[in-house]
């Protein structure tokens, strides 16, 4: 599932292509909204909320989409609409077409009802208003389940919104915390939240995720995707195992020496 920085970047691209322009193409390819037609309405704004995308349209309407595991938005110049069954939504104007491929969620709702689809989320790590108050709220929400493994809690979007499997593994490594450590035993939850914010913010304008500061192939992550290879810090072989997550079992990576078992 795409991380929050990928979704933030997708929202920015949608905003650049659609905002301030009148829709000339509106093609919902989902049964629930097959007859919906937004042509003639101007797009006001496209924003992300955690891993959710909201395109606000004139007339107090919002197009809500979620990429899930395989979804993507592709921006291209106008042309014949694709017959590809994976395309579930097309929004376009005279200059750009935005094609939603394999979207996990496609909904049209009143803008006033956005809380029905994103109101359950915790503080958004890439919120333009991120501050100490939001960070403290994220810590409070994480601490509500003290017995839960921290790796599982970081993936729970109702605790804090935006972290996916990559950042879960990397944040735990950088804080020296085993992913199976109960939240109650994590030495400094606030430091973990602050680090999560910094990593997502640092990568939001970059294609791909870098947590080491090293852009060379194979050295962009400390532990994620490095199972069986030496830890970049101590040389111990990185391990992997399944761990519960918001979408079921999710693989995680850790260094048994840098992140000893709780």
Q: Is 133 a catalytic residue?
A: no
Alpha helices in the chain (DSSP H): 4-18, 115-118, 132-143, 150-155, 165-174, 189-203
Find residue 253's DSSP bridge partners: 240
DSSP state of 208: S
90, 100 contact by CB (below 8 A) = yes
Catalytic residue among 2, 44, 159, 204: 2
Catalytic residue among 49, 51, 168, 220: 51
Catalytic residue among 3, 44, 152, 170: 3
Q: What share of the chain is helix, strand, coil (3-state, %, to 5)?
A: 25, 25, 45
Q: Is 250 a catalytic residue?
A: yes
Q: If we measure between CA atoms, which residue out of 3, 1, 9 comes closest to residue 167? A: 3
Q: Is 147 a catalytic residue?
A: no
Catalytic residue among 56, 204, 226, 250: 250
Q: Tokens 């994590």 map to which residue?
A: 186
Q: Is 2 a catalytic residue?
A: yes
Q: How far apart are the first and last CA of the chain?
A: 28
**Separation between Cα atoms, residue 240 and residue 226, nearest integer Å:** 8
Active-site amino acid positions: 2-3, 51, 250
């Amino acid at each position: 599932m795409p991380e929050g920085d990928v979704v933030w970047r997708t929202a920015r691209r949608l905003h650049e292509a659609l905002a301030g322009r009148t829709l000339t193409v509106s093609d919902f390819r989902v049964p629930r909204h097959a007859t919906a037609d937004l042509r003639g309405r101007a797009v006001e704004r496209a924003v992300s909320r955690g891993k959710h995308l909201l395109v606000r349209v004139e007339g107090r309407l919002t197009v809500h989409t979620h990429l899930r595991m395989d979804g993507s938005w592709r921006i291209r110049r106008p042309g014949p609409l694709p017959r590809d069954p994976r395309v579930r939504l097309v929004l376009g104007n005279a200059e750009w077409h935005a094609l939603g491929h394999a979207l996990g969620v496609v909904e049209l709702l009143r803008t006033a009802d956005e809380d029905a689809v994103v109101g359950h989320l915790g503080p958004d790590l890439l919120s333009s208003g991120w501050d100490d108050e939001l960070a403290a709220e994220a810590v409070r929400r994480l601490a509500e389940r003290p017995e839960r493994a921290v790796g599982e809690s970081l993936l729970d979007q109702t605790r804090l919104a935006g972290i996916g499997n990559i950042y879960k593994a990397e944040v735990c490594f950088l804080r020296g915390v085993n992913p199976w450590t109960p939240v109650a035993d994590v030495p400094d939850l606030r430091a973990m939240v602050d680090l999560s914010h910094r990593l997502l913010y640092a990568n939001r304008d970059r294609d791909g995720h870098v947590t080491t500061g090293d852009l060379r192939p194979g050295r962009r992550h400390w532990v994620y995707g490095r199972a069986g290879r030496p830890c970049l810090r101590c040389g111990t072989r990185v391990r992997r195992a399944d761990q519960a997550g918001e979408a079921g079992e999710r693989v995680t990576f850790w260094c048994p020496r840098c992140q000893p078992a709780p």
